[in-house]
Amino acid sequence: MQTVAFIGLGIMGRPMALNLIRAGHPLVAVNRSPGPLQALEAQGAKVAPTPAAAARDAQVVITMLGDTPDVEQVYFGPQGVLSATRAGMLLIDMSTVDPAIARRIAEAARDAGAGALDAPVSGGEAGARAGELSIMVGGDEAAFAQALPILEVLGKRVVRIGPSGAGQVAKACNQIIVAVTLEAVGEALTLAKRAGVDPEVVREALLGGFAQSRVLEVHGLRMLQRQFQPGFRAELHRKDLRIALAAGRSAQAPLPATALVHELLTALMARGGAGLDHSALVTVLEALSGQSDPAG
Nearest to 58 by CA among 94, 27, 87, 36: 27
202 lies in a domain?
yes
How far, in Å, CA of 104 to CA of 114, rounded? 13
293 lies in a domain?
no
Same-domain check for residues 155 and 18: yes
pLDDT of 124: 86
Nearest to 89 by CA among 100, 79, 99, 81: 81
Same-domain check for residues 147 and 36: yes
How many domains does the chain contain in total?
2
Same-domain check for residues 266 and 181: yes
| 3-state helix, strand and coil shares in percent for the chain, rounded to the nearest 5 | 55, 15, 30
Could you say which of 156, 171, 193, 239 is catalytic? 171
Same-domain check for residues 154 and 36: yes
296 lies in a domain?
no
Q: What is the CATH number of the domain that holds 110?
A: 3.40.50.720
Residue finishing a domain among 163, 181, 215: 163
Task: Tell me if 19 sits within 8 A of 153, measured CB to CB.
Answer: yes
Q: What is the pLDDT of residues 139-189, one digit of tens each?
A: 999 999 999 999 999 999 999 999 999 999 999 999 999 999 999 999 999
Other CB atoms within a 10 A radius of the CB of residue 145 amount to: 11
Q: What is the pLDDT along the chain (296 residues), one digit of tens a residue?
A: 899 999 999 989 999 999 999 999 999 999 999 999 999 999 999 999 999 999 998 999 999 999 999 999 999 999 999 999 999 999 999 999 999 999 999 999 999 999 999 999 999 888 999 999 999 999 999 999 999 999 999 999 999 999 999 999 999 999 999 999 999 999 999 999 999 999 999 999 999 999 999 999 999 999 999 999 988 899 999 999 999 999 999 999 999 999 999 999 999 999 999 999 999 999 999 999 997 654 44
Other CB atoms within a 10 A radius of the CB of residue 34 amount to: 10
- Contacts made by residues 266-273, CB under 8 angstroms, sequence distance 24+: 266/238, 268/234, 269/234, 269/235, 269/238, 271/295, 273/228, 273/234
139 lies in a domain?
yes
pTM for this prediction: 0.91
| Widest CA span in the chain | 65
Residue finishing a domain among 163, 198, 222: 163
294 lies in a domain?
no
55 lies in a domain?
yes
Q: Is 171 a catalytic residue?
A: yes
Task: Tell me if 137 sits within 8 A of 151, measured CB to CB.
Answer: yes
Torsion sign (Cα): 206, 211, 217, 222: negative
233 sits in which H/E element: none
Other CB atoms within a 10 A radius of the CB of residue 23 amount to: 16
Same-domain check for residues 14 and 96: yes
68 lies in a domain?
yes
How far, in Å, CA of 126 to CA of 119, rounded? 18
Residue 209 structural domain? 169-288
Residue finishing a domain among 138, 163, 188: 163
